[in-house]
Amino acid sequence: MSFRYLDLVGTTPCIAFQRLRDEGVPAVCEADIPQLVTTILLRHIAEKPTFINDPVIIPDENKVVVAHCTAPTKMGGYDEEAEDYDASLHHETKLGLAPSVKFSEGREITLAGVSHDFDEMVATKGVITRNTSYHICISQAEIEVEDSQFLLDNFKGFHWVMVYDEWIEELEKACDLLSIQLITPEP
């Protein structure tokens, strides 16, 4: 859903999108079709919900802060226990409730974003170091990555998608089948 429809309906779809993702339905915000494709790929590779996010890259510290105003609670898997979350007003609009999911600190993740022309996808593995509470979208976490400068230099798309556990090898196979060049930091 894009922001122009919020005045029409008077609320955000954040809680509904959380529920849909927890049930395996790939719901994305702001009509981001390229990351819908990334969401579908990672959801089927990992058989887990994914978290579409606005990545904030911190090159000097090899960190990425991921944030958005909705996230699934079943990040560990559809049959796994839900992550804790609080419900707060949507960050930008103060319309409707949005979940502030508490991600599992110490958990390995995969983070990926496809280009708008679907020619390239940047991806990396990382580890959730902590949940954060910056004055940005309310579901947020800090991720330690190998080479955040590489991610900044090769940024693709608008949003990125996070999924629990490391799936780079499987993502590379999927990208090969789809003729998408996967770009990852050198090992």
Listed by start position, the domains of the chain span 9-183
Tell me what pLDDT residue 186 has: 76
Q: Which CATH superfamily is domain 9-183 in?
A: L-fucose/L-arabinose isomerase, C-terminal (3.20.14.10)
Tell me what pLDDT residue 120 has: 98
The residues near 86 (Cβ < 8 Å, ≥ 6 apart) are 99, 100
Tell me what pLDDT residue 4 has: 66
In sign, the C-alpha dihedral spanning 54, 97, 142, 168 is: negative
* C-alpha closest to that of 80 among 139, 161, 164: 164
Tell me what pLDDT residue 2 has: 53
Segment-wise mean pLDDT, segments of 10 residues, the chain, 187 residues: 67 90 91 94 97 96 96 96 92 86 98 97 98 94 97 95 98 98 89
- Pseudo-torsion of CA 8, 14, 19, 22, nearest 10°? 140
Tell me what pLDDT residue 93 has: 81
Tell me what pLDDT residue 30 has: 85
